Amino acid sequence: MTKIMMSAGEASGDMHAGAVAAEIKRLYPDAEIFGMGGQDMRKAGVRIIYDIENLGIIGVVEVIKHLPLFFKLRTFLKEAMIKEKPDVLVCVDYPGFNMKLAHVAKELGIPVVYYIAPTIWAWNKGRAKNIVRDVNTVASIFPFEAKAYEEAGAHVSFVGHPLADTVKPSMSYEEAMTYFRGNTDKKRILLMPGSRKNEVKGLLPVMLAAAEKLQQKTDCQFFIPRASTIPMEFLSSIIGASKLSIEITEGKQYDLMQICDACIASSGTATLETALMELPTVLVYRLAPVTWMLAKLLVHVKYAGLPNLLLDREVTPELLQDAVTAENIAAIVSPWITNPKRREENVKKIQAVRKALGGGGAVKRVAELIMKTAENR
């Protein structure tokens, strides 16, 4: 019987690991899976030995405060490896911690598969040599990432992106219009200010100012999908007494994207999701001035948006830092909602994203790669 250990440290990693675990259980019902994770992994039949509820730590200061916890956790998981003797360790995202755990596994002679690997193509090239040293196979989700790892000397398997499987509506256009109370007489615009409070605080006011300008061009209905990490009161306090028609929504995000004409989104996975849903999107992002200066020095990429990085050309317009103004946002979105031909031109460009992601089947390919690694040890 194959024994698999998994390590995911935050909600998105838990989601991706859960999908892979469910697929392993479907293909190989006898496989035993245990490790560190959350609800999604537990639902997929993983025996959770450490629940990640305690771990959502982002900034440098918070990480330093929690260092004793990380050391203890690494020791705990090392002891689990020695006791349980897994055939393979699967690290999912969470690089600061998982890179060190991969090294522990390597020292114990346990092969490692890394899925959603550290972004060496953007910055921190030093991590690449540790991956080459400690990881048997990188299950790569982007073609440009696979190339960067290959050049660094790592063993890579391009599996495709899991979103290519999951980004699709769950209801028809008509059902979604009813569900979200979509108004057929208005242009429907999606505002996605992010899932962290500081992002929302920095970006939503300028998105609303742009929305005012778009409303002057044509009658609009605006939607804000609330991330579970953002309290409703927090959103309401920023929206305030706006006279705009704004619906705050919960869940069914891809169905919502299906009924919208355009989107204004914070940088991140959202822009990849809107591209896969063929929704014209302008990407906006602002960092604190010091962080921005550091990023310019350290980050070696031409674009901020995943669709543009993927295709190596700008298909999702980007406004960064001082360029994030209501005027600039409105100037990009306005043609999409007033001229069907201009909107169609952008849709045609972003259709290339799904093709570049390697179609569907990523989760199945990862599951098979993990089993193959375990059997070949």
Same domain, yes or no, for 200 and 103? no
Same domain, yes or no, for 253 and 369? no
Residues 17, 40: Cα–Cα separation, whole Å: 8
Mean pLDDT, range 337-363, rounded to an integer: 92
**What is the value of pTM for the model shown?**
0.78
Q: Is the pLDDT of residue 240 over 50?
A: yes
Domain assignment of residue 86, yes or no: yes
Q: Is the pLDDT of residue 136 over 60?
A: yes
> What integer pLDDT is reported at residue 282 of this predicted model?
97
Same domain, yes or no, for 191 and 335? yes
Tokens standing for residue 76: 């705990």
Domain assignment of residue 166, yes or no: no
Same domain, yes or no, for 211 and 152? no
Same domain, yes or no, for 118 and 253? no
pLDDT tens, position by position, 260-291: 999 999 977 899 999 999 999 999 988 766 66
CATH number, residue 18: 3.40.50.2000
Q: Is the pLDDT of residue 170 over 70?
A: yes
Same domain, yes or no, for 276 and 129? no
More confident residue, 10 or 137: 137
Mean pLDDT, range 297-304, rounded to an integer: 68
Q: In the 8-state DSSP scheme, what is residue 230?
A: S
pLDDT tens, position by position, 46-71: 999 998 876 544 444 555 566 677 78
Residue 316: band (very low, low, confident or very high) from pLDDT cuts 50, 70, 90:
very high
- Which residue matches tokens 């890394």? 114
pLDDT tens, position by position, 118-128: 876 555 566 78
Q: What 3-state DSSP class applies to 34? A: strand
- Which residue matches tokens 């100037």? 331
Residues 328, 313: Cα–Cα separation, whole Å: 20
Which secondary-structure segment (H or E) carries 206? helix 197-217
Same domain, yes or no, for 231 and 284? yes
Q: Is the pLDDT of residue 296 over 70?
A: no
Q: What 3-state DSSP class applies to 30? A: coil
Domain assignment of residue 140, yes or no: yes
Same domain, yes or no, for 213 and 128? no
Mean pLDDT, range 340-351, rounded to an integer: 97
| Cα 137 versus chain centre, distance | 21
* Mean pLDDT score of the chain: 89
Domain assignment of residue 41, yes or no: yes
- Domain span at residue 262 reads 173-356
Q: Is the pLDDT of residue 194 over 90?
A: no
Task: Tell me how many domains the chain contains.
Answer: 2
Same domain, yes or no, for 77 and 199? no
Residues 136, 35: Cα–Cα separation, whole Å: 19
Mean pLDDT, range 141-147, rounded to an integer: 88
Same domain, yes or no, for 13 and 129? yes
Mean pLDDT, range 231-235, rounded to an integer: 90
DSSP 236-288: HHHHTT--S-EEEE-S-HHHHHHH-SEEEEESSHHHHHHHHTT--EEEEE---
Residues 234, 210: Cα–Cα separation, whole Å: 20
- Which residue matches tokens 């992010």? 194
> What integer pLDDT is reported at residue 58 of this predicted model?
45
DSSP 64-97: HHTHHHHHHHHHHHHHHHHHH--SEEEEES-HHH
Domain assignment of residue 336, yes or no: yes
Domain assignment of residue 295, yes or no: yes
Tokens standing for residue 311: 């295709």
> What integer pLDDT is reported at residue 230 of this predicted model?
82
Same domain, yes or no, for 64 and 140? yes
Domain assignment of residue 165, yes or no: no
Domain assignment of residue 9, yes or no: yes
Same domain, yes or no, for 351 and 366? no
Which neighbouring-strand residues pair with 157? 139
